[in-house]
């Protein structure tokens, strides 16, 4: 049973299809959250990763885990519509087995440390009880009005 369904998640996170990677929240405590992603054959990334052996990219598993963490960070925030949770660090990422169409990805994220605008979280993603990924992420809370610095021409070229 969902604590938050997709519409409630959409009211919290700014992500939209095809980049909204958490379908429902099934558990939530002040320092812990569990999200679910139903991985279907219709996911756009499977067209190229890989056509003959569809595997969910590890970076998207990490993103799904970070989005689940973002729900926890933003859920009780009164002005959350004016905030973004930005991923600023990924540490200790480990991928144990492929995630494929038909899998139900369960993502459990726990707060390790939290300050006013920064949270460090650790998580485990499982499919049918088997660990598929582990990660630690650091997220920064930012105002939506904050703009990224304009890149200099040399930074664009590389």
Query: Which residues form the catalytic set?
Result: 49
- Measured at the CA of 70, the angle between CA 58 and CA 141, to 5 degrees, comes to 115
Q: Nearest CA to 67 among 49, 95, 86? A: 86
Say if residues 123 and 143 touch (Cβ distance below 8 Å): no
Alpha carbons 66 and 41: distance in angstroms, whole number: 22
Q: Which residues contact 117 (CB under 8 A, 6 or more apart)?
A: 140, 141, 142
d(CA 18, CA 6): 13
Spatial distance between the Cα atoms of 23 and 86, rounded to a whole number of angstroms: 20
């Amino acid at each position: 049973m969902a604590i938050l369904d997709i519409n409630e998640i959409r009211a919290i996170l700014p992500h939209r299809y095809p980049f909204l990677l958490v379908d429902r929240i099934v558990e939530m405590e002040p320092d812990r959250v569990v999200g679910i992603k139903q991985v279907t054959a219709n996911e756009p990334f499977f067209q190229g990763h890989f056509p003959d052996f569809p595997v969910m990219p590890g970076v998207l598993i990490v993103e799904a885990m970070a989005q689940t963490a973002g729900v926890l960070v933003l859920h009780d925030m009164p002005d959350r519509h004016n905030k973004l949770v930005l991923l600023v660090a990924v540490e200790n990422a480990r991928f144990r087995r492929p995630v494929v169409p038909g899998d139900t990805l369960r993502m459990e994220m726990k707060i390790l440390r939290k300050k006013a605008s920064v949270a460090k979280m650790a998580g485990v993603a499982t499919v049918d009880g088997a660990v598929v990924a582990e990660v630690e992420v650091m997220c920064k809370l930012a105002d939506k009005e904050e703009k990224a610095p304009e890149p200099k021409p040399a930074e664009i070229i590389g």
